């Protein structure tokens, strides 16, 4: 993606006003001359989930041959006119509602004029003074369990540019217009973020909400989400400093790296008595650095004006109401419900709701048609065993070889003492590899737990008879030897003896 084709919230609109009250002492960055506060705002470009482009009927599918998904409109041919895709408008409204934001019933598309070879019309159709979504607010959770609020300044619809490829030819740049005209939502935060971690957490949360809403797939590797990061530093409590904008950062890790690098760079300049130039910078992922853009124009003057080819977008309140009714349960509400209804810890609930698919999987394990399974047990199985194996196999939950109902079946076998928790892990491994049901694997491998007290008594009697020395130690007061006996019993039964029964019988026999 090109560096200059994405939008910068106009200064006079954004106001660069933080709505964040106070700051965390721990977020301050120590410089040579004292502590600094880092002020961060994000402009996130999220590709709208839609079949066709914002103003044409060409496909938005990723990865097609160059220029194969380009209409005459997308190519900026003479006399071509944009016609808005209604679904993109509805997706923007859904997103606005999901961010708890003001929906503007009248919004206007403007032209943002500048030249770039992958921007065929010579202007980008965007929304400037009258965006479709106004102010909102989202709650962001940090890994340590703390949470904070981030103000959303606005969300507007705009078209993406094409793609410039600079490394195919020594003297030429290649232009592919497949992305030209794809709908983007630009979501502008207030400068309410104070550290790289907070920025990453905000971006994760935003991604989660968009994915729940189904309005953006959040796939950063395909460019479906990318961020322009505004960074400035100041002494705590002082006026905001001059900011730099780092364009098109396309992963959470790079967002963190870019912020840390940029904050340090600015602090070093200021502590050396220098000044920060307000400028656009690029993040160089190979070097982990930001650098000034060589191609930046002498002065941007985008000459915005309402696009005369498009009439204002006017929404009926009834449409907005209907879209609101149709919204899914969002992560915050789901998390609260998981804590309340399932008595999960905030941490477990947070992990489970981060992805809509995970939350749905979990609920399918716990509560299929009212058959309540132990939620904590289910949460442990999902977050520990399932996630561990999915990560190792590089799969996401949609690709899990073990369906939710199958994991539920396994948990049922534990609950009714058919198998022990230890055996269950082996069964789960086999399920993951084979895709078979837990019951089948238990039956095939004869892993059913031994709960016949007569058999266990006979086994213990034999163990005591074979190991008189250890039995004597126990009777002499060294009760820790009981653990050794339990281990032997489990080993002899290949783990199938019911551990509680083994312990009880041992105690009875040795203590007698």
Q: Interaction with another protein in 292-311: which residues (CB under 8 A)? A: 293-295, 298-299, 301, 303-306, 308-311
- What is the closest distance, in whole angstroms, from the C-beta atom of residue 406 to another protein in the complex? 36
Tokens of 172: 């030429």
Total of residues contacting another protein (CB under 8 A):
75
The widest CA-to-CA distance across the chain, in whole angstroms, is 99
Q: Which residues contact 237 (CB under 8 A, 6 or more apart)?
A: none
Between residues 83 and 393, which has the closer beta carbon with respect to another protein? 83
Out of 35, 57, 274, 511, name the contact with another protein by CB under 8 A: 57
> Tokens 């041919």 — which residue?
77
The closest alpha carbon to 152, from 167, 164, 165, 140, belongs to 140
Phi-psi region of 152 (alpha: psi -120 to 50; beta: other; left: phi over 0): beta
Please tell me the distance from the alpha carbon of residue 347 to that of residue 354, in angstroms, as a whole number.
11
Out of 22, 115, 286, 480, name the contact with another protein by CB under 8 A: 115
Q: Which residues contact 13 (CB under 8 A, 6 or more apart)?
A: 128, 129, 154
Taking CB under 8 A as the binding criterion, the range among 50-58, 199-207, 403-411, 477-485 that sits at the site for another protein is: 50-58
Site for another protein in 393-452 (CB under 8 A): none
Site string for another protein, 154-173 (x = CB under 8 A): ----------xxx-xxxxxx
Out of 6, 18, 71, 159, name the contact with another protein by CB under 8 A: 71
> Tokens 């132990």 — which residue?
374
Tokens of 159: 């078209």
Site for another protein in 230-249 (CB under 8 A): none
Between residues 319 and 364, which has the closer beta carbon with respect to another protein? 319
- What is the closest distance, in whole angstroms, from the C-beta atom of residue 114 to another protein in the complex? 8
> Tokens 């206007």 — which residue?
108
CB 494 within 8 A of CB 422: no
CB 47 within 8 A of CB 216: yes
The Cβ of residue 48 has, within 10 Å, a number of other Cβ atoms equal to 27
Out of 8, 43, 99, 111, name the contact with another protein by CB under 8 A: 111
Q: Which residues contact 471 (CB under 8 A, 6 or more apart)?
A: 464, 481, 510
Site for another protein in 72-91 (CB under 8 A): 72-89
Site for another protein in 259-298 (CB under 8 A): 282, 293-295, 298
Indicate whether 139 belongs to the interface with another protein (CB under 8 A). Answer: no
Burial 216-226 (b: 16+ CB within 10 A, else e): bbbebeebbbb
- What is the closest distance, in whole angstroms, from the C-beta atom of residue 434 to another protein in the complex? 40
- What is the closest distance, in whole angstroms, from the C-beta atom of residue 109 to another protein in the complex? 10
Tokens of 160: 């993406």
Site for another protein in 480-499 (CB under 8 A): none
- What is the closest distance, in whole angstroms, from the C-beta atom of residue 159 to another protein in the complex? 13
> Tokens 């007698």 — which residue?
512
Burial 362-391 (b: 16+ CB within 10 A, else e): bbebbbeeeeebebeebbebbbebbeebbe
Between residues 22 and 78, which has the closer beta carbon with respect to another protein? 78
Taking CB under 8 A as the binding criterion, the range among 106-114, 150-158, 361-369, 374-382 that sits at the site for another protein is: 106-114
- What is the closest distance, in whole angstroms, from the C-beta atom of residue 22 to another protein in the complex? 36
- What is the closest distance, in whole angstroms, from the C-beta atom of residue 285 to another protein in the complex? 14
Please tell me the distance from the alpha carbon of residue 133 to that of residue 401, in angstroms, as a whole number.
41
Between residues 43 and 110, which has the closer beta carbon with respect to another protein? 110
Between residues 13 and 429, which has the closer beta carbon with respect to another protein? 13
The closest alpha carbon to 38, from 205, 187, 211, 255, belongs to 255
Out of 41, 98, 120, 409, name the contact with another protein by CB under 8 A: 120
Out of 50, 232, 266, 449, name the contact with another protein by CB under 8 A: 50
> Tokens 């460019």 — which residue?
223
CB 226 within 8 A of CB 45: yes
Out of 177, 227, 397, 430, name the contact with another protein by CB under 8 A: 177
- What is the closest distance, in whole angstroms, from the C-beta atom of residue 155 to another protein in the complex? 19
- What is the closest distance, in whole angstroms, from the C-beta atom of residue 265 to another protein in the complex? 19
- What is the closest distance, in whole angstroms, from the C-beta atom of residue 173 to another protein in the complex? 4
Between residues 159 and 406, which has the closer beta carbon with respect to another protein? 159
β-pairing verdict for 279-284 and 244-249? parallel
Out of 58, 407, 463, 471, name the contact with another protein by CB under 8 A: 58
Indicate whether 323 belongs to the interface with another protein (CB under 8 A). Answer: no
Indicate whether 174 belongs to the interface with another protein (CB under 8 A). Answer: yes
């Amino acid at each position: 993606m090109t560096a200059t084709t994405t939008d910068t919230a106009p200064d006079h609109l954004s106001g660069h006003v933080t709505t964040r009250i106070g700051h965390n002492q721990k977020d301050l960055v120590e410089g040579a001359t004292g502590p600094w506060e880092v002020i961060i705002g994000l402009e996130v470009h999220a590709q709208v989930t839609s079949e066709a482009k914002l103003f044409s009927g060409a496909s938005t599918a990723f990865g097609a041959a160059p220029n194969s998904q380009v209409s005459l409109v997308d190519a900026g041919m003479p006399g071509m006119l944009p016609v808005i895709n209604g679904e993109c408008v509805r997706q923007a409204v859904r997103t606005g509602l999901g961010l708890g934001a003001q929906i503007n019933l009248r919004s206007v598309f403007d032209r943002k004029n500048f030249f770039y070879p992958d921007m065929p019309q010579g202007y980008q159709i965007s929304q400037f003074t009258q965006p479709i979504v106004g102010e909102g607010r989202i709650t962001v959770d940090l890994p340590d369990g703390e949470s904070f609020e981030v103000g959303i300044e606005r969300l507007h619809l705009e078209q993406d540019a094409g793609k410039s490829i600079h490394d195919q030819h020594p003297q030429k740049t290649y232009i592919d217009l497949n992305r030209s005209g794809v709908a983007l939502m630009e979501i502008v935060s207030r400068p309410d973020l104070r550290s790289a971690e907070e920025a990453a957490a905000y971006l994760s949360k935003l991604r989660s909400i968009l994915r729940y809403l189904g309005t953006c797939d959040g796939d950063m590797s395909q460019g479906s989400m990318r961020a322009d990061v505004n960074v400035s530093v100041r002494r705590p409590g002082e006026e905001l400093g001059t900011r730099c904008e780092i364009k098109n950062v396309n992963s959470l890790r790079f967002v963190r790296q870019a912020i840390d690098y940029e904050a340090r760079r600015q602090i070093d300049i200021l502590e050396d008595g220098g000044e920060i130039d307000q400028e656009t910078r690029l993040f160089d992922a190979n070097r982990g650095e930001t650098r000034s853009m060589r191609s930046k124009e002498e002065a941007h003057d985008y000459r915005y004006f309402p696009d005369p080819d498009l009439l204002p977008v006017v929404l009926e309140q009834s449409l907005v109401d209907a879209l609101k009714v149709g919204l899914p349960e969002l992560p915050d509400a789901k998390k609260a419900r998981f804590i309340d209804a399932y008595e999960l810890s905030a941490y477990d609930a947070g992990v489970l709701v981060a992805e809509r698919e995970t939350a749905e999987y979990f609920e399918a394990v716990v509560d299929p048609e009212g058959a309540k399974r132990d939620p904590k047990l289910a949460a442990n199985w999902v977050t520990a065993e399932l996630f561990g194996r999915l990560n190792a196999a590089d799969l996401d939950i949609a690709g899990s070889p073990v369906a939710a109902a199958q994991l539920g079946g396994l948990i049922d076998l534990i609950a009714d003492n058919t198998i022990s928790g230890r055996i269950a892990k082996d069964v789960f491994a086999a399920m993951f590899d084979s895709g078979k049901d837990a019951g089948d694997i238990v039956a095939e491998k004869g892993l059913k737990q031994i709960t016949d007290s007569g058999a266990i008594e006979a086994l213990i009697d034999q163990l005591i008879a074979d190991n008189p020395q250890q039995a004597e130690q126990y009777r002499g007061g060294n009760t820790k030897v009981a653990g050794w006996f339990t281990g032997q019993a489990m080993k002899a039964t290949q783990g199938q003896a019911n551990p509680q029964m083994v312990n009880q019988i041992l105690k009875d026999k040795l203590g007698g």
